[in-house]
């Protein structure tokens, strides 16, 4: 089967949308559901530890979401080392089964011991990924924009790599653009830009340079009008993807006239 250029393939699953959405930080479940609808997303992340601890902002989340419509991406948010993240990943797989997705082995791998800048630990991430792949997980690791680490994670069998554009929740955009471009150039698996996107132009930029998808949470959930921002992000991702496929005009240092200079009437 030929994959449509507008579609996204992760492991054996094919998705029409290239926008992944987080489920945290919304004012309420109703606001979150409206945002999910407006985003036209198909993959949504769920923080396993927050669900399992019955955190107030996540109460009722599992029951409120139509799991026949959305594909669950459990994540290991809050884990500080490989062993902890592996344990939470296993719980995440069980959570997906409870939702009715018996064949869902997806896990967004986050290993973040740093409390100030929330930067992922590359060594513990690699260690955890190796173990989870052996347990037949489709591993989507959240990483610094490190081309060497990204390639190593691809080589051991990760389904994607998810480099950060800038620190989580910072809304700084693609501060790591040069490295992300290297990762994209050398990757044979999807590259999903995760973290740092603050406005639709950031999302469009990520797609324009060839990212396969973006994952957004704070920029939507903490906007003044989350459902409207979700719609804007959807449009930006779609436009950015089309721009990448169309091929941009090459940037030059000098002006070039739009009309030919030959044959001008004098």
CATH of the domain at 21: 3.20.20.70
Q: What sections of 157-249 are H helices per DSSP?
A: 177-186, 200-208, 218-221, 226-246
Q: Is residue 253 part of a domain?
A: no
The active-site residue, picked from 52, 108, 115, 151, is: 108
Q: Is residue 48 part of a domain?
A: yes
Q: Is residue 237 part of a domain?
A: yes
Of residues 264 and 231, more confidence is placed in 231
Q: Is residue 54 part of a domain?
A: yes
Q: Is residue 257 part of a domain?
A: no
Asked whether 71 and 13 are in contact (CB, 8 A), the reply is: yes
Kind and range of the H or E run holding 83: helix 82-98
Q: Is residue 252 part of a domain?
A: no
Asked whether 165 and 178 are in contact (CB, 8 A), the reply is: no
Of 230-234, 252-256, 261-265, the one with minimum mean pLDDT is 261-265
Predicted confidence (pLDDT) per residue in 160-190, tens digit? 999 999 999 899 999 999 999 999 999 999 9
> What is the number of structural domains in the chain?
1
Asked whether 104 and 45 are in contact (CB, 8 A), the reply is: no
Q: Is residue 263 part of a domain?
A: no
Output the pLDDT for position 127: 98
Q: Please check the confidence at residue 97 and state whether its pLDDT lies above 70.
A: yes
Provide the pLDDT confidence category of residue 216 given band limits of 50, 70 and 90: very high
Q: Please check the confidence at residue 2 and state whether its pLDDT lies above 50.
A: no
Output the pLDDT for position 53: 44
Any catalytic annotation for residue 108? yes
Q: Is residue 262 part of a domain?
A: no
Residues of the domain holding 168 = 8-246
Output the pLDDT for position 265: 65
């Amino acid at each position: 089967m030929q994959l449509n250029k507008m579609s996204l393939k992760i492991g054996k699953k094919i998705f029409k949308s290239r926008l992944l959405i987080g489920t945290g930080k919304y004012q309420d479940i109703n606001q979150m559901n409206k945002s999910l609808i407006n985003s036209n997303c198909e993959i949504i992340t769920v923080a396993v530890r927050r669900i399992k601890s019955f955190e107030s902002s996540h109460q009722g989340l599992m029951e409120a979401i139509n799991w026949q419509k959305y594909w669950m991406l459990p994540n290991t948010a809050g884990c500080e080392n490989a062993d902890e993240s592996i344990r939470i990943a296993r719980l995440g797989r069980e959570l997906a089964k409870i939702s009715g997705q018996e064949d869902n082995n997806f896990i967004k791998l986050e290993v973040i011991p740093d409390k100030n800048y929330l930067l992922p630990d590359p060594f513990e991430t690699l260690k955890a990924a190796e173990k989870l792949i052996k347990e037949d997980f489709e591993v989507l690791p959240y990483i610094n924009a490190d081309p060497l680490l990204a390639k190593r994670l691809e080589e051991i069998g990760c389904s994607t790599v998810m480099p950060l554009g800038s620190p989580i929740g910072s809304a700084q955009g693609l501060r790591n653009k040069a490295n992300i471009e290297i990762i994209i150039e050398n990757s044979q698996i999807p590259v999903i830009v995760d973290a740092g996107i603050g406005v639709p132009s950031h999302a469009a930029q990520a797609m324009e340079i060839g990212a396969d998808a973006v994952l957004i949470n704070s920029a939507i959930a903490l906007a003044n009008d989350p459902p409207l921002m979700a719609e804007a992000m959807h449009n930006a991702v779609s436009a950015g993807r089309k721009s990448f496929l169309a091929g941009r005009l090459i940037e030059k240092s000098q002006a070039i006239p739009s009309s030919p200079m030959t044959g001008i009437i004098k």
